[in-house]
Structure 1
Amino acid sequence: MKARWDIFCSVVDNYGDIGVTWRLARQLVAEQGCAVRLWVDDLRAFERMCPEVDVQAAQQWQEGVDVRLWPAHWPTTPAADVVIAAFACQLPPDYMEAMAARERTPLWMNLDYLSAEEWVVGCHGLPSVKFKGVQKYFFFPGFRPGTGGLLREAGLIEQRQAFQRDSQAQQQFLQDLGVVPMAGARLISLFAYENAGLASWLEVLAADGQPTHLLVPEGRILGDVQRWLGVEALGAGQVHLRGALTVQVLPFVRQEQYDRLLWCCDFNAVRGEDSFVRAQWAGRPLLWHIYRQDEDIHLDKLDAFLERYTEGLSPAAKGALIALWQAWNTDADMGANWKMLLEHWPEVTAHAEKWCLEQALQADLATALVHFYENWI
């Protein structure tokens, strides 16, 4: 019999949590043959990336996944063989009792946040707390051998490379979104949290000798873009031109379309976790807006990734990339740092593809989870 999996997702950061768990649930079904229930406490956030979702339904099937609304009053339901608490969310007490009541206790894992910090390797797979004999384990995605790897569907890199070689397919995809860049324009995607440093970056892009077409999916950064443009309202479909910079707002798209948007662009500014990983699979230079945490501990996480990501770059290119990322994540002036990065554009572009291919040598996250379960039983 196929193993039954329950994945619990408490939506905290709008789309990152559900983005990761939705990709994982679909991959476990499609590639690993698992039976998956995905428990979500905010179906409206889910609807943005899966428009077919009925936000009123307590239970529904989407792409082979049994999607359940995580109710305030937990129903009587048997626990699965494998239980994943995504991003340290707290399981319902009644469900925990159901886990303990099973004749064979389930494998209970805390799927933690992605980090490049060295301590992750030592903690990955270790036992955590127990509940009435049910042992919980830490499971860390990561960029190093000895971690759980990254979410990556089978054949993803090959699909991306074929798409990037097909200029007609890219042009058609962009046209379907209403995007028609002028010849020779640099294409940049921008998906970020609010950022006071954005205006300085946009000023430099507008004054550049090369045209830039900036694609901004609907999200939290729109307010900053709107203020810089000096317009009263900014929404999907609008296009504004200032100097060498064209700003175009895109509607929120489903995950497969967002992947292709990243593949089309020369540079991708992304946020959180899901889009961060997908930008790496795009094989193009990127800029990560990490989720802020108290006492700026997120900057340690940022520095840990930069230390690993920039291995192999020349000192000048490494310094330029680190300076840009640090400026972006501290609301600092972006102008001089962006110009510095442009001086090393061929090198950082080649490095992005090299990094992608190196990461693809590791087992993907879904496969690593299944192997962990198989070893456990």
Structure 2
Amino acid sequence: MTHRLPPLQWDVFCRVIDNFGDIGVCWRLVAQLAALGHRVRLWVDDASALQWMAPEGCEGVEVRPWNAPPPGPDAPPPDVMVEAFGCEIAPEFIAYSAYQISAEGQKQSQPVWINLEYLSAEAYVERNHRLPSPIFSGPAAGWTRWFFYPGFTPATGGLLREPGLVDERHAFDPRAWRAAHRARYGLGEEVPGTRWVSLFCYEPAALPELLQQCEAVPTELLVAPGRPAAAVRAALRGAADEDEGGHRQNAPQRLSTQRGQLSISYLPHRPQAAFDAMLWACDLNAVRGEDSLVRALWAGRALVWHIYPQHDDAHHDKLYAFLDWLQAPASLRQFHATWNGIDSRPLHWPDAATLDEWTRCVENARSRLLAQGSLVAQLLGFVAEKR
């Protein structure tokens, strides 16, 4: 249920630490808030990805550079401040907000200040969700910052989900999408029984093994741009990168290539809605980070998560906590362990029965998630409570 609030001024702060996950999550958040009638200022230190992620922008969302001065005196002060992933709001903006409130007197209460944390299935998320963090010094002394944790269980803040997403997913025609893709890349008719796989990863050590196994079964591999495409091309160069006639391929300039029964398409950057549609069209989605993991769950297809690696191996516990929540079968847990470099056992490409088992697992997880409130709905409820 979405809480009815009057239109509020939201200021959302985002630093792009690595790749596109931070800005991807923040853009989905602000777009949903704006669609509900709220005004949003998105402060970001690198908005370049929005050129392809959201080329048409969003009515009601104003994108501001991180170091831009605070709004002028005629602009509305914030009703809600969201610092995404602990990015820490600029002191100048906090001082501006405090001054605006003191100038307004009793007519303006302090903003609801939310620290929107990273996504995890670990137990600490439920313990720390909605905890207060009082501010004892500076212009905002006496205010409270609240920790808000996205998550997979009813005791967390939920996941980002657009109101019409389920209906759009059910109405989607994967066969039409696949036919359009093959026509665009000049790939001809699809071989019966072809598995469609999307690849959005870092540089998994098991990637050459995956590509080799895909050559033995009809596979359409859709490779995301950037690090995934570079990793695939590096793996192919390591395997001599020759076509079936034994000729060297000029891989960096090719949009597609064929190796045995494996057809590889190198995709361009695409808007978020188009990325989601690609996931819906595939039989298996290899995703990474946070935003694409959530979108793969909503897709309801078999998925493999390449978790962001940390030097102290803290990501191991995070991965296994997610697999526990997912109720992943043993074969899917082992694939994750190999794919993420946690152990060196061989990578076993799933047969049809195994892939069906993985898909049912994700479908069941999606059903559990759909019974819970979305992240935006819970944020609105929280703000209504604190105001």
Aligned to 2:98: 100
Aligned to 1:57: none
Answering whether residue 67 of structure 2 is matched by residue 62 of structure 1, we say no
Aligned to 1:58: none
Deviations 1:213-268 (A, max 9, x none): 10001021222211222257545761111111111101011100000000000000
Aligned pairs (5 A) from 1:288-307 = 288-307=305-324
| Deviation, structure 1 residue 157 | 1.4
Distance 1:236 1:298, change over 3 A: farther
TM-score by length of 1: 0.88
Answering whether residue 94 of structure 2 is matched by residue 86 of structure 1, we say no
3-state DSSP of counterpart to 1:187? strand
On the 8 A contact 2:8/2:79 being kept in 1, the answer is yes
Aligned to 1:308: 325
On the 8 A contact 1:270/1:288 being kept in 2, the answer is yes
Answering whether residue 23 of structure 2 is matched by residue 18 of structure 1, we say yes
Distance 1:75 1:346, change over 3 A: closer
On the 8 A contact 1:177/1:250 being kept in 2, the answer is no
3-state DSSP of counterpart to 2:227? coil
Letter matched to residue 110 of structure 2 = T
Letter matched to residue 52 of structure 2 = R
| Deviation, structure 1 residue 334 | 7.1
Aligned to 2:235: 228
Letter matched to residue 66 of structure 1 = E
Aligned to 1:74: 69
CA distance in 2: counterparts of 1:283 and 1:80, whole angstroms = 37
Distance 1:174 1:332, change over 3 A: farther
Which of 124, 127, 133 is the aligned partner of 1:122? 127
3-state DSSP of counterpart to 2:196? strand
Aligned to 2:244: none
Aligned pairs (5 A) from 1:236-251 = 238-251=255-268
| Deviation, structure 1 residue 96 | 1.2
Answering whether residue 61 of structure 2 is matched by residue 44 of structure 1, we say no
Distance 1:67 1:178, change over 3 A: farther
> Which range moved further: 34-43 or 128-137?
128-137
> Which range moved further: 280-289 or 100-109?
100-109
Deviations 1:181-226 (A, max 9, x none): 43321000001112221001111111x2x30010001021222211
Which of 145, 152, 155 is the aligned partner of 2:154? 145
CA distance in 1: counterparts of 2:227 and 2:276, whole angstroms = 19
3-state DSSP of counterpart to 1:48? helix
On the 8 A contact 1:280/1:356 being kept in 2, the answer is yes
On the 8 A contact 1:190/1:268 being kept in 2, the answer is yes
Answering whether residue 370 of structure 2 is matched by residue 360 of structure 1, we say yes
Answering whether residue 247 of structure 2 is matched by residue 216 of structure 1, we say no
Deviations 1:16-70 (A, max 9, x none): 000000000000111x321111111102132231235xxxxxxxx6333111121
CA distance in 1: counterparts of 2:271 and 2:365, whole angstroms = 25
Identity of aligned residues (%): 42
Which of 154, 160, 179 is the aligned partner of 2:163? 154
Equivalenced residues, count:
357
CA distance in 1: counterparts of 2:252 and 2:349, whole angstroms = 26
On the 8 A contact 2:194/2:219 being kept in 1, the answer is yes
Aligned to 1:345: 355
Aligned to 1:261: 278
Letter matched to residue 175 of structure 2 = S
On the 8 A contact 1:196/1:332 being kept in 2, the answer is no
- Higher RCO (CA-CA < 8 Å; seq separation 6+): 2
Aligned to 1:167: 175
Aligned to 1:56: none
RMSD: 2.2
Letter matched to residue 366 of structure 1 = V
| Deviation, structure 1 residue 86 | 0.4
Q: What stretches of structure 1 move > 6 A for 4+ residues in a row? A: none
CA distance in 2: counterparts of 1:18 and 1:155, whole angstroms = 22
Contiguous gaps of at least 5 residues in structure 2: 1-5, 103-108, 242-248
Contiguous gaps of at least 5 residues in structure 1: 53-60
